Amino acid sequence: MFPAHAHPMRERLGTGKVNASKLHFPLRNPKLSRKSRANKNPTHWGLLADAGAVNPGLPQGWTEMKDPITHQSYYYNADNSVATWTIPQPDMISTIKECKDNDIHTSYTSCDESTSTRSLTYFYSALCKKGKALPPTVVNLPCNITCNAGQYLPLGKPTCSPCEPGTYSIGGGEKYMNWESFPPGFSTSCKFQLEADNDQTCNGWVLNGTYIHSGELRGKRLVDSTLTMKVELIRSGSVTFEYKVDAERRWDGLYFAVDGETVMQMDSYEFKYTQFTWPLAAGLHTLQWVIGMQYNTETCSVCPKGHYSPPGSAECLKCPVNTYADKSGTASCLPCNPVGGHDSAKYSLPGAVQCKPAKPCVETDILVTYSECNNGKRTKHESYVEPKICSGGVQPKPDKEVECSPCDRGEYRQGAVCNYCPAGKYNPNPTRSGIDVCKSCPKGFVALKLRYYDQQFTPAMFKRYLERGEMQTGCANGFCAQNGWRALGSSLDTGVGNGDVADIWLSVRVVLETTGQVFFNYRLPVDLRVASHSLLMSIVCDGLEGKLRWISEREYSWMEGDANSQAAKEDRAVIDSIVVTGVQDGGAIECVACPPGFVSDEQASICAPCPPGQFAAGGGSSCAPCTAGTFTATPGSSSCRLCGHGTFSHIGAASCDVSPTNCRYTVDDETIYDLGELARVGKPMWGPVVDSNNSMNYYINICSQSHANGTCAGRGGDAARSFACQESTLFDDFNDNAFAVSRLHVLQSDQVPDCNDSLGDTMAFYTLPQRPRNGLMVSIQGGEKCWNGGTRSLNITMYCDPEAGPGFPSLIPGMPVEQKKCGYALQWRSQYACPLCTNEDMRTLPGECSVTGKRPVHMVWKEPKVCHGGLDLPEVIYEDCQAVLLDKSKVTMIIVSGVSVFGILLTGLIYLYFRNRKIYREYSVLKEQNEAEIELDRMAGFSLDEDH
């Protein structure tokens, strides 16, 4: 197949575009200019238009021509009507095949916006020779034609026409429902991402007649199975397809991509067929997993074998039971047993391509029903189960009168009616007697009501309950011959003639008054060698109301190879009985002891749960309060739980004394911790603390279990009441290739934990070893069950750090988070991990005395300050500077000491006085003598002068 508009010369040669509904286009850039496209890949031709002839030195019969639009050379052989962009070789003509009529294709040109018209052109789809002249281009065709369902647009016509019998059209598009072969434009591929796996087998998507699937990928890892379709739309439209998928959550799933962009993100599970639609602009598109798109079809599609359609149909219909269509495109189906035929013992199921010999009828082909009971009698009626697919053998018996059946256990008879025993009473045996057969239950026991739904298995009762809405049935996927389950008198079944893929569901509405159970007996009479058939049961509850749902899931020839599809269609699922206990409207057949945590009075039908703060170890008639230091937060507790270390509770407590306003731990009189400031009530929890090695996030809410559920959601999506939780961060990160439509990454995920696991609803406090004032240990306990049988817990080492503010929880450096199985550990540096401030954290700082005789005395924090909150610093006080009080003994000692010192000083002074006095006298004598001598010397000196 070849691209449309590979070069502009094709239009001049009468070629035009390729019809997108017929060809498989390779991926290309639709934005290339006309000239650049002309250089790409010239491929196929019609007859030549006018152009200048040059270069006569070519092989005989060839002429070089010039395209008047691109001005590029091409080469034309008029004798054989062949044109090519490449220089022809002498033997080129002999290697080219001759043109055939089916080589002529058609295509519409793009719409001319100025006139809202387009043209229909004809061209040869491959290089060939001796082709006949192409029909002339049909011009001036309106662009805005939209055909309705059951119509098509004939080539070159301006109006739509109705589909012929045996064909169909969805109108304005193409619908693919026959997957016996890949339609034009589809391809598939399969690729392993790891080179080491390339020796394994992988074939891509697999055809299966009425559907297509991604192939057998079980046991393979990192494999991409891709379905691709390439198409050109002449105007904007959309693509719509239905799919279902069952893959490993978060790892595998189905993608859908348009032109390399993923427009449907990974979907890992869809039980029912889900529809997806994506808009498409006009032009070329590469689609992954496409089974429908919209543009006017040039012909109606032919109905496959086993189907028919009247004129103007938008879809094909399956042939009814006991008819067939052995050819495609039929307007009606043929009967298996035509009137006047020689063979009247054949049958067929819906969608049959041939009839089969009917088997002899057996007992299970007979439907037995009864009339209403009247005066102890009723009429038994037998008929064939419809649709009848047997012949001869067992036949229905004539009607006859029989006795009414006894009332079921839990009931008593009142005239022609069976009633349930009153609440709190039971009847263990079937009976025809009155209300006296119902007996009362003692205290601690209840008459648990139950209901037998087998009574609704008769066609009349089943229809009545369907009309009331108490039961519902239908077909979720595929073709269901009876449009749901059918009543057979003593059982329900899914009927015969269902499609190769059929999910048939049954829903029963129940109203409970207490916790109950459901019991049912079923059969799957199927040959597992040719079929995959399962019966799924689910329960959806909304308070005390709920729905029980059974789904018969059939998938034949899905990946197990060829199977006998006709035999598989005769397979069915059967439910023989349904019993539900704990219902509001029902009868009891025995007295049942209340379970631990529940109690009851005499003649009760339900056990009442013990309220929070109370428990009942073995059931009975009364609950007991929890003792001091224990608690129970949930109703119906069989025992009380111990409060965490450092916390307390009073008698009958529903919780321990931990709250944002009371979150203290007392070590001693001078060491008290208060973590209440770290509580986040109604706000996101602290976190996430990211453990990338184990793909986990941790969230913490100290002192409070009330938080925003965006950080720690419970199983139902509500905020989990927990002090901490862990959340798995595993996610699918394989969307790096938009063309990988179906990704089935088969990985080992047995150890992947559930998301949002609670780590505990109880707090405990412990001192740090040998550092009672440097922080504390907060232990969160009582989390969800661990795989090893214990419960999850989290220990947080709180370090006192006055400079950290509130701080933030973090990993412990060099240590794993999970230090033991389901026992986790983190750390947290915070100012609130410091003890409350007391007098021991203060010291006095006296000031200087003032002129008034007073001095200030300040109280300041000891450095460094390692406390928060608690006591504030007291105000400054003033005291007298001389305000020093001494006792008598001290005064006496001071006086004695003073007298002694005074005596010693006085004695010393007297001694020094007399000693100095003597010295002074001696000094005075010597002075006088010295003065006399000096005077004598002076006088003597004076006399000598006079002698001269």
Question: What is the distance between the alpha carbons of residues 445 and 604, in angstroms, rounded to a whole number?
Answer: 7
Closest of 649, 646, 663 to residue 614, by C-alpha:
649
Q: Which residues pair with 511 in a beta bridge?
A: 545
Question: What is the distance between the alpha carbons of residues 25 and 5, in angstroms, rounded to a whole number?
Answer: 11
Mean pLDDT of the chain: 79
Phi and psi (nearest 5°) for 699? -125, 140
Determine contact, residues 171/147, Cβ cutoff 8 Å: yes
228-253: average pLDDT: 77
- Asked if residue 299 has pLDDT above 90, the reply is no
Rounded to the nearest angstrom, the gap between the alpha carbon of residue 526 and the centroid of all alpha carbons in its chain is 34
**DSSP run (H or E) holding 140:** strand 138-142
Q: Indicate the burial class of 901 (C-beta count within 10 angstroms; 0-12, 13-18, 19 or more).
A: exposed
Q: Which residue has the higher pLDDT, 708 or 822?
A: 822
Peptide bond into 3 cis (omega under 30): no
Proportion of the chain in helix, strand, coil states, percent, rounded to 5: 10, 35, 50
Q: H-type helices in 307-424, by residue range?
A: none
Cα separations (Å) of 362 from 554, 567, 641, 859?
25, 17, 63, 104
pLDDT of 49 reads 41
- State the Cα torsion 669-670-672-673 to the nearest 10°: -170
- Coil, helix or strand at residue 292: strand
Q: Does domain 662-729+755-829 have CATH number 3.90.700.10?
A: no
* Position 647, amino acid: T
pLDDT bucket at 515, cuts 50 / 70 / 90: confident
CB atoms inside a 10 Å sphere around CB 281: 13
Candidates 2.10.50.10, 3.40.50.720, 3.40.50.12280, 3.90.245.10; correct CATH number of 609-658? 2.10.50.10
Q: Which residues pair with 503 in a beta bridge?
A: 477, 553
Determine contact, residues 256/262, Cβ cutoff 8 Å: yes
Task: Give the N- to C-terminal CA distance of the chain in Å, as an integer.
Answer: 169
pTM of the complete model beyond 0.75: no
883-912: average pLDDT: 72
pLDDT of 448 reads 92
Strands 757-767, 724-728: pairing kind: antiparallel
Q: Check residue 832 and report its DSSP letter.
A: G
Question: What is the distance between the alpha carbons of residues 817 and 810, in angstroms, rounded to a whole number?
Answer: 10
**DSSP run (H or E) holding 542:** strand 532-542
pLDDT of 936 reads 53
Q: How many residues are listed for the chain in this entry?
A: 948
- Coil, helix or strand at residue 59: coil
Closest of 501, 510, 472 to residue 271, by C-alpha:
501
- Where do the structural domains in the chain lie, given as residue ranges? 62-162, 609-658, 662-729+755-829, 839-880
Question: What is the distance between the alpha carbons of residues 742 and 267, in angstroms, rounded to a whole number?
Answer: 10
Question: What is the distance between the alpha carbons of residues 196 and 202, in angstroms, rounded to a whole number?
Answer: 14
- Coil, helix or strand at residue 547: strand
**Digit-coded pLDDT (tens) for 483-511:** 899 998 889 998 888 876 778 899 999 99
Question: What is the distance between the alpha carbons of residues 368 and 377, in angstroms, rounded to a whole number?
Answer: 16
* Position 830, amino acid: S
296-322: average pLDDT: 83
Determine contact, residues 309/336, Cβ cutoff 8 Å: no
Three-state secondary structure along 716-785?
CCCECCCCEEEEECCCCCCCCCCCCCEEECCCCCCCCCCCCEEEEEEEEEEECCCCCCCEEEEEEEECCE
pLDDT bucket at 557, cuts 50 / 70 / 90: very low
Record the tokens describing residue 296, joined without a space: 């006017």
**Digit-coded pLDDT (tens) for 804-850:** 999 999 999 999 999 888 999 999 999 999 999 999 999 999 888 88
CB atoms inside a 10 Å sphere around CB 602: 13
CA angle 677, 682, 685 (to 5 degrees): 65
Question: What is the distance between the alpha carbons of residues 349 and 365, in angstroms, rounded to a whole number?
Answer: 15
- Coil, helix or strand at residue 612: coil
**Digit-coded pLDDT (tens) for 74-123:** 888 888 888 888 888 888 888 888 888 888 877 777 777 788 888 888 88
pLDDT of 767 reads 93
Q: Which residue has the higher pLDDT, 133 or 56?
A: 133
Record the tokens describing residue 142, joined without a space: 């309106």
- Coil, helix or strand at residue 466: helix
Peptide bond into 387 cis (omega under 30): yes
Closest of 257, 307, 311, 267 to residue 287, by C-alpha:
257
Determine contact, residues 186/229, Cβ cutoff 8 Å: yes
Give the least confident one: 427-441, 453-467, 757-771.
Answer: 453-467
Determine contact, residues 281/259, Cβ cutoff 8 Å: no
pLDDT of 229 reads 87
CB atoms inside a 10 Å sphere around CB 844: 9
521-539: average pLDDT: 71
Q: Check residue 257 and report its DSSP letter.
A: E
Question: What is the distance between the alpha carbons of residues 663 and 679, in angstroms, rounded to a whole number?
Answer: 9
